[in-house]
Structure formats: structure tokens, C-alpha cells
Amino acid sequence: MAAESGSAVEGSWERPTVFYNKKVKYLIYGLILLFFAYSFWNLRISPSRFVRGIGAGVELVTSMLPPAYTPSQRDLLIQGIVESIVMTIVATTIGIIVSVPVAVMASNNLSPKPVYYVGRSIVAVTRSLHELIVAIIMVKAVGFGPLAGVLALAFKTIGFFAKLLAEEIEDIDRGQMEAITAAGGTPVQTYLYGVLPQVMPRIVGLSIYRLDINLRHSTVVGIVGAGGIGITLLNSFDKYDYQFSMAIIAVIVAIVMVGEGVSALARRRIQ
């Protein structure tokens, strides 16, 4: 029976669809297209509005060039950049010191279930808010200045660092831990000798990576008053001093590129 019905369709084959059948598939595709169309209609960006936008953009760029600054602006620029770099280093250090125990808590092979859920919750909360939102909250909490920025960046570091380190810890070889336990080691000694050596390259790599990210973010949190070069940039826009804005942006790009290069070099060394 099966052979008879099979012979009719022996020469044709269709890739099974992830949807129930073809009708459902085209219906869903149609709905997605409809949603795109609605989105465009909703925004109602007319061609003339688009052309006007391009015109304004060209005007802005021409007024920004060439980048320039007065001697007093140069002092502001240097002060802001140094503050951003210092904030980055302090925030990354604090963030990592806090992250390591959180990572141990948030790994299901080292922590009992209740502790694990607490650790995962800390990670989830610190990941759920954007840097700028955290920075605004910190400015409200501790006032304007680099302290708020450091707290915001350190807070964001926990979510990133602890999550990725916890995943690394969950992949370790239990046997190496077990050997320390069998020799009579305390839990802390077991972490120090049986776990830490296994995840150390990852800790170094993540630290460098996060330093890189924090450097970029430290230039942004200043916009909401959390210290660093960001506030200088915002002020220059407010004063229509676009040439100074361009100078600041160029310096930020240069610093981030240097940071990127150093981190690439460092990561290559520890592989």
C-alpha cells in the first residue's frame, strides 16, 4: 500500500516547512509585510522631508569642519578626556571585583539553587537597564560628577562580566575541583585551586574587553551629567560651536581606537 501511494510522488520532494503548512507560511509572511507597510505609513516620512533632512545634515557637517578649539577649550577637552579615562579604570576595577563572587553565585554547578537564583537575578537586573538610564539614576542618587559615572559603569560591568564568567564556570571540569575536595580542601580553597585556574584566561580576556566597552561608554554618560568628556560635548552643541564638537568627537574616536588596538594586542598575548 505504502509503496503504491509512494510511487506517484517518488520524483518530487518538498522541504518540510517550520510552519504547519504552506498556507500558514504565506499568511505569516503576508502579515509581516503588512506590518512593515503600516510602520512606514505611521511615520509618514515624505520624500520632501527626507530631502530637507539631508540638506540640514550637509550644513551641519560643513559647519563642523575643520575641527578647532580655543586655548581654554583645549584645557576643557584634556580635562574631560582624562576624567573619562580615569572613570573607566576605576569603574572596571570595582565592577570586576564585585562580578567574580556574583559569577560564582550565578553558576548552577557551584551554587545551591536559592543562591543561584539570587546570582542570576543580580545579573538580570544589571543587564536590563541601558547605561544612560543607570547614569541618570546615579546622578539623581549621588549628584552630578564622575562618582555617578563610575557607579553607573561599574553597575553595568556586573551584568556583562558576571554573566559571561558564570557561563565559563559552568563549563569547567569537575574532576579538578573534586581532587582538591578529596584532599580535605575547604570550599574556598577548592575555588582557588580547582576553579580559578580553569577560568583565569577568560577572566583576563573579559576584563580587557570590558575596559574597552567602559571607555566608550564613559564618553557618553557625561551627557546626563555623570562626569567625563560627554558634558563638554553636549555644551558645545548647545552653543552651536560645531567645530569644537568635531574636535571632541575626533579625540574620542582616536582614544577608542587606541583602546581597541591595545585590547586586541593583549587578547592575542593571553590565548
Partner 1 sequence: MLTVDNLEKTYDSGDKALKGVSFEVSGNEIVAIIGPSGAGKSTLVRSINRLTEPTGGRVSLDDTEVTGLDKSALRDVRRDMGMIFQEFNLVERLTVMENILSGRLGYLSTWNAFRRNFPPEDIKRAREILSRVNLEGVENNRADELSGGQRQRVGIARAVIQRPKILLADEPTSALDPDTSREVMSLLTDIAHEDDIPIIINIHEVDLAVDYADRIIGLSDGEIVFNGPPDDLDQAARDEIYRGGESIADREEPSAGSSTGSDDVIAERGD
Length of the chain: 271
What is the rounded distance in angstroms from the CA atom of residue 271 to the CA atom of residue 129? 32
Of the ranges 50-58, 83-91, 194-202, 238-246, which one interacts with partner 1 (CB under 8 A)?
Answer: 194-202
Cβ at position 85, least distance to partner 1 in Å: 31
What is the rounded distance in angstroms from the CA atom of residue 175 to the CA atom of residue 180? 9
Total binding residues toward partner 1, as defined by CB under 8 A = 21
Residue 269 to residues 204, 205, 211: CA-CA distances in angstroms?
11, 10, 16
Cβ at position 113, least distance to partner 1 in Å: 15
Q: Is residue 245 a contact partner of residue 235, using CB atoms and an 8 Å limit?
A: no
Among 180, 203, 229, 252, binds partner 1 (CB under 8 A): 180
Interaction between residue 193 and partner 1 (CB under 8 A): yes
Q: Is residue 68 a contact partner of residue 247, using CB atoms and an 8 Å limit?
A: yes
Cβ at position 267, least distance to partner 1 in Å: 17
**H-assigned helices in 16-173:** 22-43, 47-64, 71-105, 113-128, 131-142, 146-170
Task: Give, as ranges, the residues between 237 and 266 that touch partner 1 (CB under 8 A).
Answer: none
| Main-chain phi, psi angles of 226, to 5 degrees | -100, 30
Task: Give, as ranges, the residues between 65 and 124 that touch partner 1 (CB under 8 A).
Answer: none
Among 37, 68, 179, 270, binds partner 1 (CB under 8 A): 179
SS3 211: helix
- Which cell numbers in the block locate residue 71? 586655548
- Which cell numbers in the block locate residue 115? 543562591
Task: Give, as ranges, the residues between 149 and 178 that touch partner 1 (CB under 8 A).
Answer: 173-176, 178
Residue with Cβ nearer partner 1 (119 or 194): 194
Cβ at position 120, least distance to partner 1 in Å: 24
Task: Give, as ranges, the residues between 197 and 226 that touch partner 1 (CB under 8 A).
Answer: 197-198, 200
Of the ranges 56-64, 138-146, 183-191, 241-249, which one interacts with partner 1 (CB under 8 A)?
Answer: 183-191
Q: Which residues contribute to the site for partner 1 (CB under 8 A)?
A: 173-176, 178-186, 188-189, 192-194, 197-198, 200
